[in-house]
């Protein structure tokens, strides 16, 4: 029974770790896209585009950090179950 639990936890750690890696990869691929919504100066449009890109990247980084934390917890639990055998 503990072997099945250990394997499930290890598999969960693998999957969550891969999801975290994917989120960090997405974060690194965020592009700055300047779009003009209103009659604004070029500098203002560029600043808004940079702010939007940073916000999107920060959101993806936050999600990746949460997935990484979950992967670490599952991996740690897998080790604890393994040590109890």
pTM, 2 dp: 0.81
HSE (CB half, 13 Å, CA atoms) of 32? 8
Note down the domain range covering 71.
2-84
pLDDT tens for the chain, 85 residues long, are 788 999 999 999 999 999 999 999 999 999 998 877 665 677 788 888 999 999 999 999 999 999 999 999 999 999 999 888 7
pLDDT score at 21? 97
pLDDT score at 78? 94
**What total number of domains does the chain contain?**
1
Angle at 28 between CA 22 and CA 31, to 5 degrees: 125
């Amino acid at each position: 029974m503990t072997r099945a639990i250990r394997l499930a936890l290890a598999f969960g750690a693998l999957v969550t770790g891969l999801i975290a890696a994917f989120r960090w990869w997405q974060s690194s691929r965020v592009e700055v896209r300047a779009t003009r919504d209103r009659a604004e100066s070029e500098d203002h449009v560029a600043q808004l585009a940079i702010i939007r890109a940073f916000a999107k990247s920060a959101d993806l980084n936050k999600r990746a950090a949460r997935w990484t934390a979950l992967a670490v917890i599952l991996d740690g639990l897998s080790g604890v179950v393994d040590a109890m055998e």
